[in-house]
Amino acid sequence: MLRPSLSPGLVLGLVLGLAACGSSDEFGLTAVPELETYCLDAQRVVTRTDYPVKLVVHDDFDAFVKSKAVIEGPTIQQYVWRDADGAPVGVSCKLKSADHLNLTFGNDTAGPDGACQDMNQAVFERVSRLNRQPVFREVVFEPVETVSNEDEPGMTGPDWLAPYAPTWVDAAGALHVKAKGFQVDFTDERFSRAPPRFRGIHYCHFVAPSFYEALLAGTANPDVSLGRLVDTSDDGGMTRPTSDAESGN
């Protein structure tokens, strides 16, 4: 079974018999998510909601950058990161926050918001059931995932999109998994002057299910990067919501 530890990172020890484990969480995963609809599962797991949402999958990175998770629909966004051979290594999701769903569709529609890493862990647990002889016997889920920019809060979006390492192996041979995300509640007063499309969001970078499978099978290099630098010099405000702090209010 999977055994969580109260160490600085959540440590999962992999042993045989994992397939016998089940989940009683109504928002938990019952199967490995399909790549094409990954963010629909992420919305349910991270925001803890079964409210139906629409998904837009982007093949073009620039289109994904300009897209927003909006309450109309509600509509969320997805982009898949691939390696040089075209194999998926990560998934980026622009999700709706629980508070905006509750404000619009009624209390108890969603929430409370969890962490992006909740989805990473849930997917890993499901994938682990498919491999009874994993290369890595210990996996550490890094607890720190939130992107923040106290000096310039409006740059949080570009900072989230900047490259980072989602997986790596330490000197002891343990696999580390890191999510990267940020959340702007619709009711966050710091962004009260920002357009509605910039608020009520929960953005996450995740490890792709098939990349987990390849890592555990020993057929993939964990040294990969997710993200890309974006130019915000002339984006028409597409990636930079203005906070009250930036506007001087």
Q: Which domain holds residue 103?
A: 30-247
Mean pLDDT value of segment 219-248:
67
- 13 lies in a domain? no
pLDDT number for residue 78: 98
- 186 lies in a domain? yes
Q: Is the per-residue pLDDT at 19 higher than 60? A: no
- 213 lies in a domain? yes
- 48 lies in a domain? yes
Cα separations (Å) of 107 from 94, 133, 183? 22, 45, 19
pTM for this structure?
0.86
Q: Is the per-residue pLDDT at 240 higher than 90? A: no
Mean pLDDT value of segment 134-150:
89
- 157 lies in a domain? yes
pLDDT number for residue 13: 54
In this predicted model, what pLDDT tens digit does every residue of 29-58 receive, in sequence order? Answer: 999 999 999 999 999 999 999 999 999 999
d(CA 195, CA 203): 17
For the ranges 3-12, 192-201, 216-225, the one whose mean pLDDT is highest? 216-225
Q: Is the per-residue pLDDT at 201 higher than 80? A: yes
In this predicted model, what pLDDT tens digit does every residue of 83-98 receive, in sequence order? Answer: 999 999 999 999 999 9
Asked if 97 contacts 201 with a C-beta cutoff of 8 angstroms, the reply is: yes
Q: Is the per-residue pLDDT at 125 higher than 90? A: yes
Q: Is the per-residue pLDDT at 221 higher than 80? A: yes
- 11 lies in a domain? no
Mean pLDDT value of segment 152-179:
90
Of residues 110 and 8, more confidently modeled: 110
pLDDT number for residue 92: 98
pLDDT number for residue 234: 52
- 40 lies in a domain? yes
- 6 lies in a domain? no
Nearest to 26 by CA among 115, 122, 91, 90: 122
pLDDT number for residue 219: 97
Domain count along the chain: 1
Residue 155 — pLDDT band, cuts 50, 70, 90? low
pLDDT number for residue 126: 95
In this predicted model, what pLDDT tens digit does every residue of 102-122 receive, in sequence order? Answer: 999 999 999 999 999 999 999
pLDDT number for residue 132: 85
